[in-house]
Chains A and B, each alone.
Chain A
Amino acid sequence: MFGYQGNILRINLSTGKVGVEKLDEKLAKDYVGGRGLATKIFADEVDALVDALSPANKLIMATGPLSGTPTPTGGRYMVVTKSPLTDTIASSNSGGYWGAELKFAGYDMIIVEGKANKPVYIQIEDDNVEIKDAAHLWGKLVSETTDILEKDAPEKARILTIGPAGEKLSRIAAIMNDRFRAAGRSGVGAVMGSKNLKAIVVRGTKKVPIADPEKLKEVVKDCTKKIRENGVTGEGLPTYGTAVLVNIINENGVFPTNNFQLSQFAEADAISGETLAEKYLTKKDPCYRCPIGCGRYCKTDKVEGGGPEYETIWAFGGDCGVSDMPAVIEANFWCNEYGLDTISTGTTIAAAMELRQRGFIKDHEMDGLSLEFGDAEAVVGWTKKMGMREGLGDKMADGSYRLAESHGIPELSMSVKKQEMPAYDPRGIQGQGLSYATSNRGGCHVRGYLISPEILGLPEKLDRFTLKGKPEWTKIFQDLTAFIDSTGLCLFTSFAMGAEDYGNMVQAATGMEWSAEEVLKAGDRIWNIEKLFNLASGVGPDQDTLPPRLLKEPIGEGPSVGEVTRLDGMLDDYYSLRGWDENGIPTQAKKDELGIE
Chain B
Amino acid sequence: MDIKVRLFATLREGRSKELMLQLEETPSVEKVLTELEIDERDVAILLINGRDGAIDQILTEGDVVSLFPPVGGG
Contact = CB atoms under 8 A, between A and B. Distances in A.
Interface stretch (B2-10, B19-27, B29-37): B2-10
Interface in A401-421: none
Contacts of B56: none
Interface string A441-458: 000011001011001111
Interface residues of A, number: 44
B58 interface: no
A559 B49 contact: yes
A245 interface: yes
Nearest to B8: A247
A253 B9 CA distance: 18
A240 B17 contact: no
B66 A251 contact: yes
A154 to B, nearest CB: 35
Interface stretch (A34-42, A65-73, A230-238): A230-238
Given A252-B50, A461-B52, A231 B69 contact: yes
B71 A240 contact: yes
Contact of A240 (B6, B9, B49, B50): B9
Contacts of A463: 52
Contacts of A241: 73
A5 B7 CA distance: 49
Contacts of B74: 242, 245, 310-311, 445-446, 449, 451, 491-492
A239 B10 contact: yes
Contacts of B12: 274
A310 B73 CA distance: 8
Contacts of A245: 71-74
B72 A232 contact: yes
A461 B68 CA distance: 14
B30 to A, nearest CB: 18
A393 B10 CA distance: 40
A273 interface: yes
By CB atoms of chain B within 10 A, which of A243, A446, A457 has the most?
Answer: A457
Contacts of A457: 44-45
Nearest to A465: B51
A456 B45 contact: yes
Nearest to A242: B73
B6 A456 contact: no
B62 interface: no
A445 B9 CA distance: 23
Interface string A546-578: 000000000000111000000000000000000
Contacts of A294: 73
Contacts of B71: 231-232, 236-237, 240, 244-245, 248, 456
Nearest to B68: A248
By CB atoms of chain B within 10 A, which of A235, A445, A464 has the most?
Answer: A235
B12 to A, nearest CB: 7
A206 to B, nearest CB: 32
Contacts of B8: 244, 247-248, 251, 274
Nearest to B71: A236
Contacts of A235: 10, 69-70
Contacts of A251: 6, 8, 47, 50, 66
A242 B74 CA distance: 6
A280 interface: no
Interface string B50-69: 11100000000000001011
A559 B6 contact: no
A455 B52 CA distance: 9
Given A230-B70, A248-B45, 12 more contacts: A231-B71, A232-B71, A236-B71, A236-B73, A248-B68, A251-B50, A253-B50, A445-B74, A449-B74, A455-B45, A492-B74, A559-B50
29 contacts: A231-B44, A232-B71, A232-B72, A235-B69, A236-B71, A237-B73, A239-B9, A240-B71, A241-B73, A242-B73, A244-B8, A245-B72, A245-B74, A247-B9, A247-B68, A248-B45, A248-B68, A248-B71, A251-B47, A251-B66, A449-B74, A451-B74, A456-B44, A456-B45, A457-B44, A492-B73, A559-B47, A559-B49, A559-B50
The 4 closest A-B pairs by CB, nearest first: A559-B50, A231-B70, A242-B73, A236-B71
